[in-house]
Amino acid sequence: MNTSNVELPTWIEVVLIPLLNIFLALVFSGLIILAIGEDPIKAVGIMINGAFGYDEAIGYTLYYTTNFIFTGLAVAVAFHARLFNIGGEGQAYIGGLGVGLAFLLLDKHLPALLLIPIGILMAAVFGALWAFIPAWLQAYRGSHIVITTIMFNFIAASLMVYLLVNVLIMPGSMSPETREFDTAGWLPFMHELFAWFGVNITRTPLNMSFLLALVCCVLVWLYIWKTQWGYALRTAGHSEAAAVYAGINPKRIVIIAMCISGGLAGLVAVNEIMGVHHRLLLNFPAGYGFTGIAVALMGRNHPLGILVASLLFGVLYQGGTELAFEVPKITREMVVAIQGLIILFSGALALMLRPWTVRVWLGLTRQSAT
Amino acid sequence: MTADRRTQEGGSLPPAIELRKISKRFGNVQANQDIDLRVESGTIHGIVGENGAGKSTLMSILYGFYQADSGNILINGHTRKIKSSREAIEAGIGMVHQHFMLVDTFTVLENVMLGAEQSHLLKTSGAHARDALRHLADEYELKVPLDTLIGDLPVGQQQRTEILKALYRNADILILDEPTGVLTPQEADQLFRVLQVLKERGVTIILITHKLREIMDITDNVSVLRLGKIVSTQRTADTDMATLAELMVGRKLVTQSFDKVSNADADTGISVRNVTVTDERGLNRLNNISFDVRRGEIVGIAGVAGNGQSTLLELLSGIKSPSTGEFTINNHVVSTDAALDPARMRDIGVQHVPEDRLRLGLVKAFSAAESSLLGYHTKPAFNWRMFLKASTIREACKRLMVAFDVRPPDPKLKSASFSGGNQQKLILARELDKAPSVLLVGQPTRGVDIGAIELIHRKIVEMRDNGCAVLLVSVELDEIMALSDRILVMYEGQVVGSMHGSEADKTTLGLMMANALDQVA
Amino acid sequence: MSSSLNKFLKPAIIGAVTALVAATTVNAADISPAVVFDMGGKFDKSFNQGVYDGVEKFKTETGIEYREFEVTNETQREQALRRMAQRGANPVLGVGFAQAPAMEKVAKEFPDTKFTIIDAVVDLPNVQSVVFKEHEGSFLVGVLAAMASESGKVGFVGGMDIPLIRRFACGYEQGAKHANADAEVIQNMTGTTPAAWNDPGRGSELSKGQFDRGVDVIYAAAGGTGVGVYQAAKDAGKLAIGVDSNQNYLHPGTMLTSMLKRVDVAAYNAFKQAMDDTWQSGIQVLGLAEAGVGWALDEHNEGLVSADMKSAIEAVSAKIVSGDVKVHDYTSDNTCSY
């Protein structure tokens, strides 16, 4: 029976099916943990406690969440224009370069009130520029954006290694990283922010970019669904022919969507560089750009869904760290495997349970109808 | 419910297909309800009904795409469960879809074999199939060049290939879904001759169509579906088109006829001069074409699909620009160097109802309100520079829906959830509401219910009477002839003939469409 | 997606070894050591694995369990070090120069905990920094490579192009030129992402490329990528030089020698000294003189190293120790001019 065109109530689509998927993933993960002779219930307990149990855990979870919101939104905006931006990783990396260059030049001369907006702007602009080139190639030369954005990740990595090893490196340093920026460019940590109001919480990498991420969620939602530009973008995404018919230039949409996408990915640098490390260093995007694809997929490309999916991935990262920390037998490779299973079930196999759910739902409703 | 059972008996054989109390629902929609249907062996049985009446669902159940919620299917007197198209084929049922299921880059032979290979070795299968097809060709007078690529064949031949495919799989029951939609009148006649031969050889044929003339011409029996139920099954000879149309729609239809006008002195709304449009592959989609459309005149473009009509609409609506030549539209001159994009065209009062409403005319995933904004999202009426005026847009959409009788009149409903006719009415409403000076209309009633056709035709004529220059493209000759004040016939990117609407006759037009008038004359 | 995740959780950094022992006195039985491996992971066949070998040896000998963690992104370094200290681990061993900024922060927060960092210097009273003179060890194998080479062309395959690896390359080049002033040194880096530390296929490709250009001895300083280099040398009948630990046994007959960097000893010592209460903060620079770096001669390569070569190496070695031969350290001025 073909069930794909049967409409289900929203709460089943958005809440029940994702929960079932995560449950299924946990069952499989439990089997693996069982196989190495550990208690799966205890492991899940450690993960959840490690992600939510105390203020430090929550801080780390939300710190990861921040990165995923940025990259998830980046993928989603591009996706609404039917573009698959695989280049979040490189765009985040180059976004970091923007922050780094600005701060190396300016951090001694400007106050925080100017420096921080400049840093955020530079992260977004550099990320956008890095996405602009593949976008232009797609729009005007027909080079497939999936291929070019992947290649641009490698180019970004090479460029950053070159710059950090040869140009921007702090003289005499062993590590390929710049000097530490002046504190004027540091985005306040949340524990600092809370301390201003007399609330003491444990120090974590969570910083004000989390608030920026939440603002971005709202802005993206407004942009996509409430503005005429978002309307044009979605029209082009759904049907290029319809866009042309409506007088929308699909090439321009490709450029605009990718630049917004790249800018959002570039904001990862605000969290990592301005918020946490306070210096430009190698490999800070650490795969967040790629994970953003899974986040967007799970979040159904909607800011609210992306927020929830980012939180889930934050939990997975932070809970997984605690799990590897507390249970020596569970190595980080196993943690990756468990994370992978959850991504697999809630992303790639998201629709696996749907036909079954549809049948159960139809069965139930038919009974109640008669 | 079935008023009369006086169907033509096909000898003493059990009916080829008998459906008993077939019901099927999707969510809240009862697509089929207690369908009883007997299709006698060796007859041609027509099934007519409006869009959404449940024809496709019924055939999909018969062909194994869906399972009925309740009821039985009997094939040649035996109850069968048909859970997949494979099982349908095993039961002897073959289907020729409206859109052919053929691989363009394969030959006829390869297409026929595909999925029914007799051996793992292509060569052996090929030899077997060639043999079998030669037999079939002789038996049923179905000649198709076996080693030609499908893509190189005319549509009629492709359709024969589909029929051969079914016969090669030993089908003795053949279902044809809207088979003449893509054919010229001459090709359609050839198809009907083939169907007659098949019938004489004992093949049972179910013909799904909305063209009542075809039903009258070729079927033995006819069933009418309305709102998921069979409202009538009777011998075709015992009924007539008017009765069938009433049964389909459920009410009396006023026969419409429109006055033809001749406005030889009026201003030209569109004036095309020696325009050629060349595509990316270097083919001339339009080849040195010239014509005029005057204000207050409907000019119909007749032709078999794919002879440049689509390009013509794209050209005049600004989607494509002329490669050479120029045209004047609503007093604006357009040429290669001075192109107008679709947004500008709208600004100067050129409105376009596109041929392919699902691809161009609206966005399926959008709500009706969003689709009703397509092309106008930059207009100050609908936005405050940045943000869209959501409630204004909804109200405007609601107004359009009421004016054009779009059902259900709910702007929040997804565009895809509307029936084809209602989608079309929404698009027409959107474009006509802007009071165009020039109106381009492509296939206004393709896949649209009889009831809606009335309204659409009336609205188009209304525009003409308001002084609008109307260019109408349609593959439905009846429609062209009913509406057009002048008719132009296109063949391979050129205008090959022209007639006055009042003088047009189908045979001449049909020959022009095949560019065969000279041979006859 | 999971594969991309996986890929980026792979090795990030060539490790360095630091062991640190608390400044305060503790009872031998009380110590609860901990180690934070870097992104390469403890089985990277390279630095992290050297540390792993060292701490495992400690565990076997003393029966004292240790806590461990493998970081998977930049932020976890600080998190893991702090977490170890919070849990009362002492000493806490951090692997690799990339952990230096994190250790600097955490060591300040826990002044009573002993920290040891390998391959970087953190100047705090409770931190022991262990760094190696990789350029000296590389100089020695450079000499050996130039002497063993018939073509006069020797090769170098690095992991990522970072200062640490340039230090290896620069020492190697000096050694080769020292033995044969006309020697040509061809260098390649494997990649620009952390994947470069574990890409044997690319290592093999680069080696073949160098062989085609006439190279007949290749020195690999590229973590797991080296495995591909050694295999390519064996397949081509050329010579290869291992790195960090003694890798001569991998392909006896084509492994000319290995440049030893005793991170295992450094790791072992950090824990052992803490247990014996002899741990001291400060900087330890381990070169040839301290036997922190060296070259490997065993039954697997004795057929390849002639008496001449052996005596030449020993002579150069003595001169480096005495200071008669100065080996330029790339990272002292970020150039390789000597």
- Give all domains of chain B, ordered by start, each with its CATH number: 17-249 (3.40.50.300), 268-520 (3.40.50.300)
> Residue B255 has what pLDDT?
62
Same domain, A336 and A304: no
- φ/ψ of C187, rounded to 5, equals -120, 140
Q: How far apart are CA A299 and CA B249, in angstroms?
A: 45
Chain A residues near residue C161 by CB distance under 8 angstroms: 161-162, 165
Least confident of A209-218, B174-183, C93-102: B174-183
Q: How many domains does chain C have?
A: 2
**CB < 8 Å to C79, chain A:** 60, 205, 321
Per residue in C214-269, pLDDT (tens digit) is: 999 999 998 889 999 999 999 999 999 999 888 899 999 999 999 999 999 999 99
- Host domain of residue A359: 1-38+329-370
Do A17 and A84 belong together in one domain?
Answer: no
Clarify whether residues A276 and A243 are in a common domain.
yes
Give A140→chain B minimum CA distance, Å.
15
Mean pLDDT of all residues in chain C?
87
Question: pLDDT tens-digit profile of B371-384?
Answer: 999 999 998 888 88
pLDDT confidence of B4, banded at 50, 70, 90?
Answer: very low
**DSSP conformational letter for B336:** S
Q: Do A234 and B378 touch (CB under 8 A)?
A: no
Specify the pLDDT at position A108. Answer: 92
Is residue B122 scored above 80 in pLDDT?
A: no
Q: Is residue A52 part of a domain?
A: no
Same domain? For A181 and A246 the reply is yes
Give the residue from chain A lying closest to B430, CA to CA.
Answer: A246
Q: A220-224, A240-244, A362-366, B368-372 — which is least confidently predicted?
A: A362-366
Nearest chain A Cα distance for residue C40, angstroms: 11
pLDDT above 70: percentage of residues in chain A: 95
Q: Is residue A342 part of a domain?
A: yes
Are A307 and A190 in a shared domain?
yes
Interface test with A, best of B367, B387, B426 (most A CBs within 10 A): B387
- Chain A residues closer than 8 Å to C8 by CB: 89, 283, 286-287, 290
Q: Judge if C88 and C129 occupy the same domain.
A: yes
Residue A367's pLDDT band, with cuts at 50, 70 and 90, is low
pLDDT of amino acid A141:
93
Q: Does the pLDDT of residue B508 top 80, yes or no?
A: yes
CB A272 within 8 A of CB C74: yes
Are A95 and A127 within one domain? yes
In the predicted structure, residue A271 carries a pLDDT above the cut 90: yes
What pLDDT score does A7 carry? 67
Nearest CA in chain B to A249: B341
Cβ contacts of C188 on chain A, cutoff 8 Å:
none
Higher pLDDT, C28 or C304: C304
Please tell me the distance in Å from A131's CA to the nearest CA on chain C.
20
Backbone angles phi and psi of A52, in degrees to 5: -130, -10
Of the listed ranges A315-324, B125-134, B482-491, C307-316, the one predicted with least confidence: B125-134
Cα gap C329→B341, rounded to integer Å: 66
Are A162 and A274 in the same domain? yes
Residue C143's domain comprises 134-261+293-326
In a domain, A33, yes or no: yes
Element (H, E) at B497: strand B494-500
Residues A246 and A165 in one domain: yes
Mean pLDDT of chain A: 90
Together in a domain, C142 and C78 = no
Residue A272, pLDDT score: 95
- Closest CB to A1 among B66, B375, B378: B66
Chains B and C touch (3+ CB pairs under 8 A): no
Burial class (CB in 10 A: 0-12, 13-18, 19+), A286: buried
For the cut 80, the answer to whether the pLDDT of residue C104 exceeds it is: yes
**Chains contacting B (3 or more CB pairs within 8 Å):** A
Q: What is the mean pLDDT of residues B227-235?
A: 90
Residues C49 and C192 reside in one and the same domain: no
What is the predicted pLDDT for the residue at A2?
55
Same domain? C85 vs C174: no
pLDDT at C5: 37
Q: Quote the CA–CA distance of B237 and C279 in Å, as a whole number.
A: 109
Per-residue pLDDT averaged across A86-112, rounded?
95
Q: Name the residue in chain A with its Cα closest to that of C160.
A: A161
Give the pLDDT mean for B127-149: 85
Q: Does A167 touch chain C (CB under 8 A)?
A: no
Is A174 an 8 Å CB contact of chain C?
yes
- The string of pLDDT tens digits covering residues B326-341 is 999 999 999 988 889 9
> Domain check: are A317 and A334 in the same one?
no
Lowest-confidence pick of A58-62, A329-333, C18-22? C18-22
State the pLDDT at residue A182: 93
Count CB-CB contacts under 10 A for residue A168.
Answer: 19
What are A35-60's pLDDT values in tens digits? 888 888 998 899 889 999 999 999 99
Total tally of structural domains belonging to chain A = 2
Residue of B nearest to A362 (CA): B27
Q: Residue B1: pLDDT band by 50, 70, 90 thresholds? A: very low
My answer on whether A266 and A194 are in the same domain is: yes
Whether the per-residue pLDDT at B342 is higher than 90: the answer is yes
| C62 domain-assigned | yes
Q: What CATH number is associated with residue A126?
A: 1.10.3470
Can you tell me the ipTM of this complex? 0.82
* C158 and C297 part of one domain: yes
Q: Indicate if C298 and C179 belong to the same structural domain.
A: yes
pLDDT at A256 over 90: yes
- A and C interact (at least 3 Cβ pairs within 8 A): yes
For B61, which residue in chain A has the nearest alpha carbon? Answer: A1
Closest residue, chain A, to B85 (C-alpha): A1
Q: How confident is the model at residue C196 (pLDDT cuts 50, 70, 90)?
A: confident
Q: Is residue C335 part of a domain?
A: no
A195 min Cα distance to partner chain B (Å): 39
Name which of B318, B359, B377 is nearest A231 (Cβ-Cβ).
Answer: B377
Q: For the domain that residue C314 is a member of, what is the CATH number?
A: 3.40.50.2300
Residue C331 has pLDDT above 70, yes or no: yes
Residue C251 belongs to a domain: yes
Residue B387 and residue A6: Cβ atoms within 8 Å? no
Euclidean distance between CA atoms C314 and C316, whole angstroms: 6
Residue B316 has pLDDT above 90, yes or no: yes
Query: Do residues C127 and C147 both lie within one domain?
Result: no
Average pLDDT of the residues in A27-37? 88
Examine the domain organization and report whether C49 and C106 are in the same domain: yes
> A321 and A341 share a domain?
no
- Distance, CA of B252 to CA of B245 (rounded, Å): 8
Interface touch A227/B386, C-beta < 8 Å:
yes
Regarding whether A236 and A294 lie in a shared domain, the answer is yes
Chains A & C: contacts with CB separation below 8 Å: 121
